[in-house]
A and B are shown apart, each in its own frame.
Chain A
Amino acid sequence: MLLPIFSSLVLLAPPAPKYPADAIAPALRENAHAVVRAYDKTVVVKSASQLVETVHRVVTVLDEAGSDDYGQLMVDYSSLRHISYMRGAVYDAQGQLLHQLRPAEIHDQGLGDAGGSFMRDLRMRYADLRQPTTPYTVEFDYEIVSENTLFYPDWRPQADENLAIEGATLQVTTPTALPLRFEEQHLPAGAASAPVATATQTTYRWQLPAAPAVEEEPLAPSLAEQQPDVHLAPATFEVQGHAGSLASWQSLGQWVYQLGQGRDALPPALTARMAQLLTTTPDPRERARKVYEFLQGSTRYISVQLGLGGWQTAPATSVATGGYGDCKALSNYTCALLKAAGLPAYVALVGAGAEHPDVRVNFPSSQFNHAILCLPLAAHGTVAADTVWLECTSQTEAFGYMGSFTGNRHALLLTPEGGRLVATPRYGAQANSQLRRTDLWLDASGGAKATVRTRRLGLAQDDYAQLLQEADPVAQKKYVGNHLRLGHFTITSLRLAAAPTSTLPGVVETMGLELASVGTVAGRRLLLTPNLLGRLGTLPAQVGPRLTPLALPTPGLYQDTVRLHVPTGFRVENLPLPTQLTTAYGVYSSACTTLPDGTLQYVRQLETRRPAGGAPLPAARYAEYQEFRRKVSHADNAQVVLVKTDA
Chain B
Amino acid sequence: MVWINRRLAWLAGSWLCLGLGTGPLVAGAQTAAPKQAPPLPLRFGQPDPADLEAQGFVADSGAVAVVLYDVGQSRFASAAGHMAIVTERITRIKILKKAGYGYATVEVPLYHQGESSEKLSNLRGFTYVRGGDGQVTKTKLDASGEFEEKRTDKLKVHKFTLPNVQEGAVIEYAYTVTSTFFSNFQSWTFQSEIPVRWSEYRTSIPQVYHYKALYQGYLPFAVNELGVGSVNMVLENTSGSGMTATSQSQSLSMSTEQHRWVIRNAPAFREEPYLTTANDYLARITFELAGVQMPNEQYRDLTDSWTKKNKTLLSDEFFGQALGHAGFLADAVRPLVAQYPDPAARAAAVRELVLKSVKYDGTNRYHATGPLKKAYELHRGTAADVNLLLIAALRQAELPAQPVILSTRAHGRVSQDYPLLEQFNYVVALLETPGQPDLLLDATEPLLPAGVLPRRCLSRIGHTVVEGGEGRWVSLTPTRRYTHLQNIHLTLHAPGNLTGEVQEEYGGYAAQEAREQVQQLGEKKYVTQLAAVHSGWEVPAYTFSGLATVDQPLALRYELQQPAAAANNPQELYLKLLEPFGERRNPFRHAQRSYPVDIGLAQQEIIMLTLTLPPGYVADLPKAANLLLPEQGGRYLYQASAPTPTTVQLTSRLTLDKPVYSADEYHTLRELYRQLLAKQAEALVVRKTQ
Q: Contacting B380 at CB < 8 Å: which of A131, A472, A520? A: A131
Q: Which of B2, B107, B591 contacts A490 (CB 8 A)?
A: B591
Nearest residue, chain B, Cβ from A394: B98
Q: B529, A486: Cβ atoms under 8 Å?
A: no
Question: Which of A105, A302, A637 gathers most chain B CB within 10 Å?
Answer: A302
Given contacts A215-B525, A323-B139, A490-B591, 16 further A-B contacts (CB under 8 A): A65-B519, A119-B159, A128-B380, A131-B379, A132-B357, A132-B359, A300-B101, A322-B145, A472-B99, A474-B270, A487-B585, A487-B681, A516-B678, A521-B682, A525-B685, A538-B535
Q: Which of B98, B107, B356 contacts A133 (CB 8 A)?
A: B356
| Given known A132-B357, A488-B586, A488-B677, contact A541–B538 (CB-CB < 8 A) | yes
- Flag whether A116 is at the interface (Cβ < 8 A): yes
A130 at the binding interface (Cβ < 8 Å) = yes
Chain A residues in 8 Å Cβ range of B43: none
| B589 touching A482, Cβ below 8 Å | yes
1/0 contact trace for A109-142 toward B, CB 8 Å? 1101100101110000000111111000000000
Q: B: which residues have CB within 8 A of A? A: 1-2, 60-64, 98-99, 101, 104-105, 107, 139, 144-145, 147, 149-153, 157, 159, 161, 163-167, 268, 270, 355-359, 361, 377-380, 446, 519-520, 522, 524-525, 528-529, 531-532, 535-539, 574, 576, 584-586, 589-591, 620, 673-674, 677-678, 681-685
Residues in A neighbouring B63, C-beta threshold 8 A: 472
A213 shortest CB reach to chain B, Å: 10
Scan A177-188; emit 1 where CB is below 8 A from any B CB, else 0: 000000000000
Q: Which residue of B lies closest to A31 (CB)?
A: B522
Rounded to whole Å, the gap between the CB of B603 and the closest CB of chain A is 18
Provide the residues of chain B in CB contact with A128, threshold 8 Å. 361, 380
Q: In the complex, what's the smallest C-beta–C-beta distance from A337 to chain B, in angstroms?
A: 16
Alpha-carbon distance between A637 and B681 when the two chains are bound, in angstroms: 15
A-B contact pairs, 11 of them (CB 8 A): A64-B446, A99-B378, A99-B379, A130-B380, A131-B380, A323-B164, A472-B64, A474-B62, A478-B590, A520-B683, A521-B683
Q: How far is the CB of B494 from chain A (nearest CB, A)?
A: 19
* Contacting residues, chain A, for B377 (C-beta < 8 A): 99
- What is the distance, in angstroms, from A128's C-beta to the closest C-beta of chain B? 6
Given known contacts A98-B379, A109-B152, A516 and B677 CB-to-CB distance under 8 angstroms: yes
A258 in contact (CB, < 8 A): no
A-side interface residues, number (CB < 8 Å): 73
User: Within 8 Å of chain B (Cβ to Cβ): is A378?
Assistant: no
The docked-state distance in angstroms from the alpha carbon of A178 to that of B62 is 59
Q: A128-B361, A130-B359, A395-B98 are in contact. Are A473 and B164 (CB under 8 A)?
A: no
Write the A192-226 contact mask toward B (1 if CB under 8 angstroms, else 0).
Answer: 00000000000000000000000100000000000
Chain B residues near A539 (CB, 8 Å)?
Answer: 532
Query: Does A8 count as interface, using CB distance less than 8 angstroms?
Result: no
Distance of A484 Cα from B535 Cα, bound (Å): 18
Q: Nearest Cβ distance between residue B654 and chain A, in whole angstroms?
A: 14
Please, which residue of chain B has its CB at the minimum distance from the CB of A523? B685
The answer, among A132, A470, A540, for a CB contact under 8 Å with B379, is: A132
- Chain A residue at minimal CB-CB distance from B61: A473
A422 to chain B, nearest CB (A): 30
In contact, B682 and A486 (Cβ under 8 angstroms): no
Tell me which residues from 469 to 492 in chain A have a Cβ below 8 Å from any Cβ of chain B: 469-475, 477-478, 481-482, 484-491
Tell me, in angstroms, the Cα distance from A131 to B357 when the chains sit together: 8
| Residue A55, interface by CB 8 Å | no
Least distance between B272 CB and chain A CB atoms (Å): 9
Asked whether any CB of chain B lies closer than 8 Å to the CB of A297, the reply is yes
CB distance from A485 to the nearest CB of B (A): 7
| Given A118-B147, A478-B590; A520-B681 close (CB under 8 Å) | yes
A116 to B3, CA, bound (A): 11
Asked whether any CB of chain B lies closer than 8 Å to the CB of A267, the reply is no
Which residue of A has the minimal Cβ distance to B153? Answer: A108
Kindly state whether residue A2 has any CB partner on chain B within 8 Å.
no
CA distance A87 to B441 in the complex (A): 36
Chain A neighbourhood of B380, CB < 8 A: 128-132
A486 near B585: Cβ-Cβ < 8 Å: yes
Q: Which of A482, A522, A541 has the most CB of B within 10 A?
A: A522
> Does B678 lie within 8 Å of A446, measured CB to CB?
yes
Task: Answer whether residue A444 sits at the interface, using C-beta atoms and an 8 A cutoff.
Answer: no
Residues A523 and B620 in contact, CB atoms below 8 Å apart: yes
Closest to B159 in A: A118
The contact string, 1 if C-beta is below 8 Å from chain B, for chain A 332-352, is 000000000000000000000
The 8 A-B residue pairs with the shortest CB-CB distance, nearest first, are A472-B62, A540-B532, A522-B683, A132-B359, A323-B164, A470-B99, A395-B98, A473-B62
Bound: A450/B2 CA distance, A: 38
